Amino acid sequence: MSYLINKLLVLPGILLGISIHEFSHGYAAVKMGDDTPRLQGRLTLNPIHHIDPMGFLCLLLFGFGWAKPVMINSRNFKNPRRDDAIVSIAGPLANLLTAALFVFFLKLADNYLPYNQLGQIIWEVLQNTVIINLVLMMFNLIPIPPLDGHHILGSIGGAKVWNFYYKYYDHLRFAMLLLIVFNGVSLIISPGINFVYNMLITLIF
Protein backbone atom coordinates (compact mmCIF):
# COMPACT_ATOMS: atom_id res chain seq x y z
CA MET A 1 0.00 0.00 0.00
CA SER A 2 2.81 2.42 0.87
CA TYR A 3 4.38 1.73 -2.57
CA LEU A 4 1.12 2.73 -4.29
CA ILE A 5 0.80 5.85 -2.14
CA ASN A 6 4.35 6.90 -2.98
CA LYS A 7 3.62 6.55 -6.69
CA LEU A 8 0.44 8.62 -6.33
CA LEU A 9 2.45 11.37 -4.64
CA VAL A 10 4.85 11.39 -7.61
CA LEU A 11 2.09 11.47 -10.24
CA PRO A 12 1.28 15.24 -10.12
CA GLY A 13 4.95 16.07 -10.68
CA ILE A 14 5.17 13.69 -13.63
CA LEU A 15 2.05 15.04 -15.33
CA LEU A 16 3.10 18.64 -14.81
CA GLY A 17 6.72 18.02 -15.80
CA ILE A 18 6.03 16.31 -19.12
CA SER A 19 3.31 18.83 -20.01
CA ILE A 20 5.54 21.82 -19.30
CA HIS A 21 8.42 20.20 -21.19
CA GLU A 22 6.55 19.44 -24.41
CA PHE A 23 4.47 22.62 -24.37
CA SER A 24 7.69 24.62 -24.17
CA HIS A 25 9.17 22.80 -27.17
CA GLY A 26 6.01 23.53 -29.14
CA TYR A 27 5.76 27.15 -28.03
CA ALA A 28 9.40 27.81 -28.92
CA ALA A 29 8.95 26.18 -32.35
CA VAL A 30 5.93 28.35 -33.13
CA LYS A 31 7.86 31.45 -32.07
CA MET A 32 10.71 30.39 -34.37
CA GLY A 33 8.31 30.17 -37.33
CA ASP A 34 7.09 26.56 -37.38
CA ASP A 35 3.36 26.21 -36.80
CA THR A 36 3.39 22.38 -36.78
CA PRO A 37 2.96 22.01 -32.98
CA ARG A 38 -0.07 24.31 -33.03
CA LEU A 39 -1.65 22.39 -35.92
CA GLN A 40 -1.11 19.12 -34.05
CA GLY A 41 -2.72 20.43 -30.87
CA ARG A 42 0.45 20.34 -28.78
CA LEU A 43 0.26 23.92 -27.48
CA THR A 44 -1.53 22.80 -24.34
CA LEU A 45 -0.67 21.86 -20.77
CA ASN A 46 -3.17 18.98 -20.89
CA PRO A 47 -0.97 15.90 -20.18
CA ILE A 48 -3.22 13.64 -22.26
CA HIS A 49 -1.78 15.26 -25.40
CA HIS A 50 1.83 14.68 -24.30
CA ILE A 51 2.02 11.27 -22.59
CA ASP A 52 4.12 8.56 -24.17
CA PRO A 53 2.98 5.29 -22.53
CA MET A 54 6.45 3.74 -22.27
CA GLY A 55 8.10 6.96 -21.12
CA PHE A 56 5.35 7.52 -18.57
CA LEU A 57 5.77 3.97 -17.23
CA CYS A 58 9.53 4.46 -16.95
CA LEU A 59 8.98 7.65 -14.95
CA LEU A 60 6.70 5.80 -12.56
CA LEU A 61 8.86 2.71 -12.17
CA PHE A 62 12.44 3.96 -12.58
CA GLY A 63 12.25 7.69 -11.82
CA PHE A 64 13.18 8.87 -15.31
CA GLY A 65 11.40 8.85 -18.65
CA TRP A 66 10.09 10.91 -21.53
CA ALA A 67 6.95 12.28 -23.17
CA LYS A 68 5.60 12.02 -26.72
CA PRO A 69 7.92 14.20 -28.83
CA VAL A 70 6.53 17.35 -30.39
CA MET A 71 6.83 17.15 -34.18
CA ILE A 72 8.97 19.98 -35.57
CA ASN A 73 9.62 20.98 -39.18
CA SER A 74 12.96 22.82 -39.09
CA ARG A 75 12.54 23.89 -42.72
CA ASN A 76 10.11 26.51 -41.42
CA PHE A 77 12.79 28.10 -39.24
CA LYS A 78 14.47 31.31 -40.39
CA ASN A 79 17.80 30.12 -38.98
CA PRO A 80 17.50 26.30 -38.73
CA ARG A 81 20.70 25.67 -36.80
CA ARG A 82 20.09 28.35 -34.18
CA ASP A 83 16.34 27.87 -33.95
CA ASP A 84 16.58 24.09 -33.58
CA ALA A 85 18.93 24.60 -30.62
CA ILE A 86 16.50 27.08 -29.06
CA VAL A 87 13.55 24.71 -29.48
CA SER A 88 15.56 21.79 -28.08
CA ILE A 89 16.76 23.65 -24.98
CA ALA A 90 13.29 25.09 -24.29
CA GLY A 91 11.98 21.86 -22.73
CA PRO A 92 14.82 21.26 -20.25
CA LEU A 93 14.93 24.97 -19.42
CA ALA A 94 11.20 24.96 -18.68
CA ASN A 95 11.70 22.01 -16.33
CA LEU A 96 14.48 23.89 -14.54
CA LEU A 97 12.28 26.96 -14.08
CA THR A 98 9.41 24.78 -12.86
CA ALA A 99 11.73 23.09 -10.36
CA ALA A 100 12.87 26.51 -9.13
CA LEU A 101 9.26 27.66 -8.70
CA PHE A 102 8.38 24.55 -6.69
CA VAL A 103 11.45 24.96 -4.51
CA PHE A 104 10.00 28.36 -3.63
CA PHE A 105 6.66 26.69 -2.81
CA LEU A 106 8.59 24.13 -0.78
CA LYS A 107 10.20 26.86 1.28
CA LEU A 108 6.78 28.42 1.89
CA ALA A 109 5.45 25.00 2.92
CA ASP A 110 8.28 24.62 5.43
CA ASN A 111 7.28 27.88 7.05
CA TYR A 112 3.50 27.84 6.88
CA LEU A 113 2.12 24.32 6.44
CA PRO A 114 0.68 22.72 9.59
CA TYR A 115 2.65 19.76 10.86
CA ASN A 116 0.02 17.10 10.24
CA GLN A 117 -0.70 14.34 7.72
CA LEU A 118 -2.18 16.69 5.10
CA GLY A 119 0.76 19.06 5.45
CA GLN A 120 3.19 16.16 4.97
CA ILE A 121 1.36 14.99 1.84
CA ILE A 122 1.47 18.47 0.32
CA TRP A 123 5.16 18.81 1.19
CA GLU A 124 6.00 15.48 -0.45
CA VAL A 125 4.06 16.36 -3.61
CA LEU A 126 5.96 19.65 -3.86
CA GLN A 127 9.33 17.99 -3.33
CA ASN A 128 8.53 15.21 -5.82
CA THR A 129 7.57 17.84 -8.39
CA VAL A 130 10.95 19.51 -7.94
CA ILE A 131 12.82 16.23 -8.34
CA ILE A 132 10.79 14.99 -11.31
CA ASN A 133 11.38 18.24 -13.20
CA LEU A 134 15.10 18.02 -12.52
CA VAL A 135 15.08 14.39 -13.68
CA LEU A 136 13.33 15.38 -16.92
CA MET A 137 15.80 18.22 -17.45
CA MET A 138 18.94 16.16 -16.86
CA PHE A 139 17.70 13.05 -18.68
CA ASN A 140 16.73 14.98 -21.79
CA LEU A 141 20.10 16.75 -21.87
CA ILE A 142 21.92 13.43 -22.44
CA PRO A 143 23.33 13.83 -25.99
CA ILE A 144 22.00 10.51 -27.29
CA PRO A 145 19.11 10.20 -29.81
CA PRO A 146 16.24 10.78 -29.53
CA LEU A 147 16.76 13.05 -26.50
CA ASP A 148 17.01 16.84 -26.66
CA GLY A 149 20.70 16.76 -25.88
CA HIS A 150 21.61 15.30 -29.27
CA HIS A 151 19.71 18.11 -31.03
CA ILE A 152 21.50 20.70 -28.91
CA LEU A 153 24.92 19.16 -29.53
CA GLY A 154 24.18 18.75 -33.23
CA SER A 155 23.10 22.37 -33.57
CA ILE A 156 26.31 23.51 -31.86
CA GLY A 157 28.65 21.12 -33.66
CA GLY A 158 27.14 21.39 -37.11
CA ALA A 159 27.42 18.96 -40.02
CA LYS A 160 30.17 16.74 -38.58
CA VAL A 161 28.16 16.02 -35.44
CA TRP A 162 24.94 15.45 -37.39
CA ASN A 163 26.78 13.06 -39.73
CA PHE A 164 28.03 11.13 -36.70
CA TYR A 165 24.50 10.86 -35.32
CA TYR A 166 23.14 9.82 -38.72
CA LYS A 167 25.82 7.13 -39.11
CA TYR A 168 25.48 5.66 -35.62
CA TYR A 169 21.85 6.50 -34.87
CA ASP A 170 20.70 2.90 -34.30
CA HIS A 171 23.80 2.05 -32.27
CA LEU A 172 23.30 5.06 -30.02
CA ARG A 173 19.64 4.25 -29.46
CA PHE A 174 20.63 0.71 -28.50
CA ALA A 175 23.23 2.14 -26.12
CA MET A 176 20.50 4.25 -24.51
CA LEU A 177 18.34 1.15 -24.10
CA LEU A 178 21.23 -0.62 -22.36
CA LEU A 179 21.75 2.37 -20.07
CA ILE A 180 18.08 2.26 -19.09
CA VAL A 181 18.00 -1.51 -18.55
CA PHE A 182 21.19 -1.61 -16.48
CA ASN A 183 20.48 1.56 -14.48
CA GLY A 184 23.27 3.50 -16.16
CA VAL A 185 21.05 6.53 -16.65
CA SER A 186 20.75 7.03 -12.89
CA LEU A 187 24.53 6.96 -12.54
CA ILE A 188 24.85 9.61 -15.26
CA ILE A 189 22.19 12.07 -14.18
CA SER A 190 22.09 11.70 -10.38
CA PRO A 191 25.14 13.91 -9.67
CA GLY A 192 23.71 16.69 -11.83
CA ILE A 193 20.28 16.41 -10.21
CA ASN A 194 21.77 16.57 -6.71
CA PHE A 195 23.94 19.54 -7.64
CA VAL A 196 21.09 21.59 -9.14
CA TYR A 197 18.69 20.63 -6.34
CA ASN A 198 21.12 21.77 -3.64
CA MET A 199 21.87 24.94 -5.59
CA LEU A 200 18.16 25.82 -5.85
CA ILE A 201 17.59 25.08 -2.17
CA THR A 202 20.50 27.38 -1.32
CA LEU A 203 19.66 30.23 -3.68
CA ILE A 204 15.87 30.43 -3.33
CA PHE A 205 14.62 31.98 -0.11
Active-site residue set: 22
| CA dist list (Å): 158 to 7, 24, 31, 72, 82 | 41, 24, 22, 18, 10
Please compute Rg for the chain using Cα positions.
18
Give CA–CA dist 115/121, Å, rounded.
10
**Angle at 148 (CA atoms; ends 145, 149), nearest 5 degrees:** 80
> Where do runs of H (alpha helix) occur along 78-168?
80-112, 117-140, 148-157, 159-167
Neighbours of 103 (CB within 10 A): 23
